[in-house]
Chain A
C-alpha cells in the first residue's frame, strides 16, 4: 500500500499507457510525463503568486489579497484572465520577431530544466548521465532570451535592465557552478538520480544529506546566494528595480507575453530550488528514518515549497543591493569561498572517516568566512550602507 502510494504517478502512467497498442506506448508515455510537468508547475506558480503576496503582506503586518474566492485563493485565476484579455502591445520601433521569440525561448529553456530533476523515487523524466550539466546548459541559455527581450524592445530601460540582468547572471553563474561542483566531487557523478541515491542513507535516524557536512553547508549557503541572484530575486533584483528601471527587461511587454515572463521567472525559481533540494537536501528522501513511509514525492515538493518560502521571506526582509555591491560580493567574497570549498571537499574526501575531518574542515571554512567577512566589512566593501550626500 505504501509502495503503491509512493509510486502512484508511475503506476498511473503505466496503467494509462497500457490501453494503447505497443507501438504507441513509448511516445504516449513521454507525452504524459511532459503534460504532467507542463501542468503541474504552472499550477504551482499560480498558487505561489498568491501565497507570496499573502506572505509578504503578513511580513509587513497586512492582510494580503483576500477578495477573490475564499481567502483570496482564486486571485491567480483573476490575474490570468486579466493578462489574457489585455492588449498585446508591441512598440512601433521594436524588433517584432525577436520581441516575440524572447519570452517563448525563455519558457522553453526553463521548462527543459525540469526534465532531469528527480521528483520522487523513479520519478525522473530523463535519467541522464550528464544531468547536472544539462541543467546548467539550459539555465545558461535563458540569459540570451533576457538579452533578446531587452534589446528588441528599443527602450533604454529595457536595455539597461537586460544588461544588468545578463551581467548579474553571468557573474553569479560562476559561484553557482562552483558550489554545485562540490557535490559532483563527492559523489563522482553528474547524474542527479545518483546524487540523490548517495544521500539516501541514515545514521542514528538522521539522513546523509550533504547539507549536514561542513562543505555541504557552506556550499548550500553559497548556492542559495547564487540562485537568488540567478533568478533575479530580491535582494538581487536590480535588473527589475522599479525605482530606477520601471520593470527592467520586460518593460515593453504587456498582456500574455508579460505573463510568460512572469511564469518563466517563477518556474526558474522552482527548478533551481528543485536542483538545490536534489544536490544538498537529499532530493526526495525523508528527513528522518522513521518517516520513510511517507511518499517520496511529498518530501520533494515539501522541500521545494520550503525553499520558495525562504525566497519569499528574504524578499520581505532584505533591501536591494547596489550594482557595485552586487559585483563585489560575487567576485570578491562568494567566489573565493567557493574555491576554498573545493579544496575543503577534496580534503574531506581523502581524510577518510573519523571526527578529525569534521573539525578540520569546519575550522577552515568558519575561519575563512570570519576573516574574510571581517576584512571586507572593515574595508567597507560589504556591510552597512553609507551615504555621502544624504546626511
Chain B
C-alpha cells in the first residue's frame, strides 16, 4: 500500500533516535580532543627524517645520527615538489662508518605535500619515513608549515613507537646490511692481507 515504506522508514529512524539515548554501542562517535583512538600501524600523514641516537631518549645527536645522505632522490621523485635539499660540501661518516654527504638544508613544505609516500619508497637509506602526527595547525600558514630538518628529525625510537612492525623490519635489514658490509670489509681485508702475504712470498 502507498505510504507503507514511509512509515517503515519513520519507524527505523525513531528506533535510531531513541536507541541512541539508551544503548552506548549505537553512538560510535569519538569526541576527539578529549577522547582519542590509538593511531593505526599503517597510518601516515607527512614524512619525517630518521636519526640513530647513541643513547636512546636523547635528541642531542640528531645532526650526527641522521641517516639521510642528501642523495636527493626523494627531491627528484616528489610529485608536488615539496622537498628542498641542499647537499653539504664536506663528508661525515654514516652509520656504517663510510664517509657520506649530509643535508645542510632539508625542508618539506607540508602545505604542498600530498602524503603519497613516494619519498619513503625510493629512499635507499631508510632515512625518510611517514609520521602519524596530524595536529599541525599553525597561525603562520607560510613559515609555520615549512618544516626544516630540525623539525623533521625524529629518533629511531620514535619510529619504533609509531610503526613497530615496519621499524623492526627496517632495523633487521640495516643490521643485515651492516653485517654484510662488515663481512665484505673483513674479506676484503683478508684478501688484502693474503695478497700482501703472497706478494711477500713471491718476493722472498
Genuine A/B complex: yes
Pick the contact of B14 from A60, A61, A313, A384 — CB < 8 Å?
Answer: A313
Verify if B137 is at the interface (C-beta below 8 Å from A).
Answer: no
Most chain B CB inside 10 Å of its own CB: which residue of A55, A58, A62, A373 = A58
Q: Judge whether B2 and A59 touch: CB under 8 Å.
A: no
Q: Judge whether B1 and A373 touch: CB under 8 Å.
A: yes
Bound state CA distance, A384 and B3, in angstroms?
A: 11
Q: What B residues does A61 contact at CB under 8 A?
A: 16, 19-20, 26-28
From residue 1 to 22 of chain B, which have CB atoms closer than 8 A to chain A?
A: 1-3, 5-6, 9-10, 12-14, 16-17, 19-21
Known: A313-B14, A317-B9. A382 touches B20 (CB 8 A): no
* Chain A interface category by residue count: 20 to 34
From residue 182 to 200 of chain B, which have CB atoms closer than 8 A to chain A?
A: none
Q: 1/0 per position for B23-43, CB-CB distance to A under 8 A?
A: 000111101000000000000
Bound state CA distance, A74 and B156, in angstroms?
A: 47
Q: Judge whether B9 and A313 touch: CB under 8 Å.
A: no
Q: What B residues does A374 contact at CB under 8 A?
A: 1-2
Q: How many Å from the CB of A365 to the closest CB on chain B?
A: 14
Q: How many Å from the CB of A378 to the closest CB on chain B?
A: 10
Q: How many Å from the CB of B3 to the closest CB on chain A?
A: 7
Pick the contact of A313 from B2, B3, B10, B20 — CB < 8 Å?
Answer: B10
Known: A63-B27, A317-B10. A58 touches B1 (CB 8 A): no
Verify if A291 is at the interface (C-beta below 8 Å from B).
Answer: no
Q: 1/0 per position for A304-330, CB-CB distance to B under 8 A?
A: 000000000110111000000000000
Known: A58-B21, A61-B20, A373-B2. A313 touches B13 (CB 8 A): yes
Q: Is the interface of B mostly helix, strand, loop or mixed?
A: helix
Bound state CA distance, A382 and B5, in angstroms?
A: 12
Q: What B residues does A313 contact at CB under 8 A?
A: 10, 13-14, 17
Q: What A residues does B31 contact at CB under 8 A?
A: 63, 66
Q: What A residues does B5 contact at CB under 8 A?
A: 384
Q: Judge whether A58 and B2 touch: CB under 8 Å.
A: no
Verify if A126 is at the interface (C-beta below 8 Å from B).
Answer: no
Q: How many Å from the CB of B5 to the closest CB on chain A?
A: 7
Q: How many Å from the CB of A90 to the closest CB on chain B?
A: 29
Q: Judge whether B20 and A377 touch: CB under 8 Å.
A: no
Instruction: Closest B residue to A63 by CB, please name it.
Output: B29
Bound state CA distance, A383 and B1, in angstroms?
A: 10
Verify if A52 is at the interface (C-beta below 8 Å from B).
Answer: no
Bound state CA distance, A71 and B135, in angstroms?
A: 26
Most chain A CB inside 10 Å of its own CB: which residue of B2, B14, B16, B27 = B2
Q: Judge whether B13 and A59 touch: CB under 8 Å.
A: yes
Q: What A residues does B17 contact at CB under 8 A?
A: 55, 58-59, 313, 316
Q: Judge whether A383 and B2 touch: CB under 8 Å.
A: yes
Verify if A369 is at the interface (C-beta below 8 Å from B).
Answer: yes
Q: Is the interface of A mostly helix, strand, loop or mixed?
A: helix
Instruction: Closest A residue to B9 by CB, please name it.
Output: A317
Verify if A101 is at the interface (C-beta below 8 Å from B).
Answer: no
Q: Judge whether A62 and B10 touch: CB under 8 Å.
A: no
Bound state CA distance, A278 and B17, in angstroms?
A: 28
Q: How many Å from the CB of A366 to the closest CB on chain B?
A: 10
Verify if A5 is at the interface (C-beta below 8 Å from B).
Answer: no
From residue 83 to 128 of chain B, which have CB atoms closer than 8 A to chain A?
A: none
Q: What A residues does B28 contact at CB under 8 A?
A: 61
Q: What B residues does A66 contact at CB under 8 A?
A: 31
Bound state CA distance, A32 and B1, in angstroms?
A: 51
Q: How many Å from the CB of B20 to the closest CB on chain A?
A: 5
Q: What A residues does B6 contact at CB under 8 A?
A: 317-318
Q: How many Å from the CB of A330 to the closest CB on chain B?
A: 15
Pick the contact of B16 from A59, A370, A377 — CB < 8 Å?
Answer: A59
Known: A58-B20, A63-B29. A369 touches B2 (CB 8 A): yes
Verify if A95 is at the interface (C-beta below 8 Å from B).
Answer: no
Instruction: Closest B residue to A310 by CB, please name it.
Output: B10
Q: How many Å from the CB of A247 to the closest CB on chain B?
A: 25
Verify if A127 is at the interface (C-beta below 8 Å from B).
Answer: no
Instruction: Closest B residue to A55 by CB, please name it.
Output: B17
Instruction: Closest B residue to A62 by CB, please name it.
Output: B29
Bound state CA distance, A382 and B3, in angstroms?
A: 10
Q: What B residues does A372 contact at CB under 8 A?
A: 2
Instruction: Closest A residue to B6 by CB, please name it.
Output: A318
Verify if A376 is at the interface (C-beta below 8 Å from B).
Answer: yes
From residue 335 to 382 of chain A, which have CB atoms closer than 8 A to chain B?
A: 369-370, 372-374, 376-377, 382
Known: A62-B29, A382-B2. A317 touches B13 (CB 8 A): yes
Q: What A residues does B1 contact at CB under 8 A?
A: 370, 373-374
Bound state CA distance, A206 and B9, in angstroms?
A: 30
Q: How many Å from the CB of B2 to the closest CB on chain A?
A: 3
Q: What B residues does A377 contact at CB under 8 A?
A: 2
Q: What B residues does A373 contact at CB under 8 A?
A: 1-3
From residue 28 to 80 of chain A, which have CB atoms closer than 8 A to chain B?
A: 55, 58-63, 66
Bound state CA distance, A383 and B3, in angstroms?
A: 9
Q: How many Å from the CB of B109 to the closest CB on chain A?
A: 30
Most chain B CB inside 10 Å of its own CB: which residue of A316, A317, A370, A384 = A317
Q: What B residues does A60 contact at CB under 8 A?
A: 16
Give 5 A-B pairs besides A58-B20, A318-B9, A373-B2 with Cβ atoms closer than 8 angstroms: A55-B17, A60-B16, A61-B28, A313-B13, A317-B12
Give 7 CB contacts A-B under 8 Å: A55-B17, A61-B16, A66-B31, A316-B17, A317-B9, A372-B2, A384-B5
